[in-house]
């Protein structure tokens, strides 16, 4: 799990020791995992148990979202693309593909990036909500 140590400052908060911290961050169920930006803003929330690959995909997605919130769009896109490439069957992948397209658009202002993303969503994940959300860019 070097991925976690390499990319995050991790903290584990136990319900019996710090119920007030649960309340402060709105953690109403366990496990709940929050990815917070360096500015202390919540970027991504993971609720419920996941297997290793799905968890790593969610953490990579969260890392991308954190960078996106920091307006580091090119770096964010790399992490979103990594989710799609390394964990293509994960639940996180369609969302990551969507945000990869948005990041590419934000970095370049090229609307063609959004159209490419819509087509890729339709091809790879046609049943996902993210394909539906991206479909508006296909025209």
Partner 1 sequence: MVALAISWLKDADQALLAAKNQGKAALLDFSAAPQ
Which residues contact partner 1 (rule: CB under 8 A)? 1-2, 4-5, 7-18, 21-22, 24-25, 27, 30-40, 43, 52, 55, 59, 62-63, 66
* Choice between 7 and 133, CB closer to partner 1: 7
* Choice between 4 and 74, CB closer to partner 1: 4
| Other CB atoms within 10 Å distance of the CB of residue 75 | 17
84: nearest Cα among 62, 66, 100, 63? 100
44: nearest Cα among 62, 26, 68, 67? 62
Could you tell me the smallest distance in angstroms from the CB atom of residue 95 to partner 1?
A: 17
Q: How far is residue 111's CA from residue 127's CA, in Å, rounded to a whole number?
A: 23
Could you tell me the smallest distance in angstroms from the CB atom of residue 139 to partner 1?
A: 35
Could you tell me the smallest distance in angstroms from the CB atom of residue 2 to partner 1?
A: 7
Q: Which two tokens stand for residue 55?
A: 């968890």
* SS3 of residue 43 by DSSP: strand
Q: Which residues contact 86 (CB under 8 A, 6 or more apart)?
A: 56, 57, 60
Could you tell me the smallest distance in angstroms from the CB atom of residue 39 to partner 1?
A: 7
Q: How far is residue 35's CA from residue 61's CA, in Å, rounded to a whole number?
A: 10
* Choice between 11 and 136, CB closer to partner 1: 11
Could you tell me the smallest distance in angstroms from the CB atom of residue 108 to partner 1?
A: 24
* Choice between 17 and 109, CB closer to partner 1: 17
* Choice between 72 and 133, CB closer to partner 1: 72
């Amino acid at each position: 799990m070097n991925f976690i140590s390499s990319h995050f400052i991790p903290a584990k908060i136990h319900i019996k020791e710090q119920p007030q911290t649960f309340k402060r961050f709105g953690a109403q169920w366990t496990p709940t995992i929050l990815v917070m930006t360096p500015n202390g803003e919540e970027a991504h929330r993971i609720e419920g148990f996941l297997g290793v690959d799905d968890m790593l995909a969610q953490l990579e997605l969260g890392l991308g979202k954190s960078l996106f919130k920091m307006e580091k769009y090119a770096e964010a896109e790399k992490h979103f693309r990594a989710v799609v490439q390394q964990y293509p069957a994960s639940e996180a992948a369609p969302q990551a593909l969507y945000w990869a397209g948005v990041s590419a658009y934000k970095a370049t202002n090229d609307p063609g990036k959004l159209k490419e993303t819509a087509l890729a969503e339709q091809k790879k994940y046609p049943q996902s909500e993210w394909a539906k959300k991206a479909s508006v860019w296909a025209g």
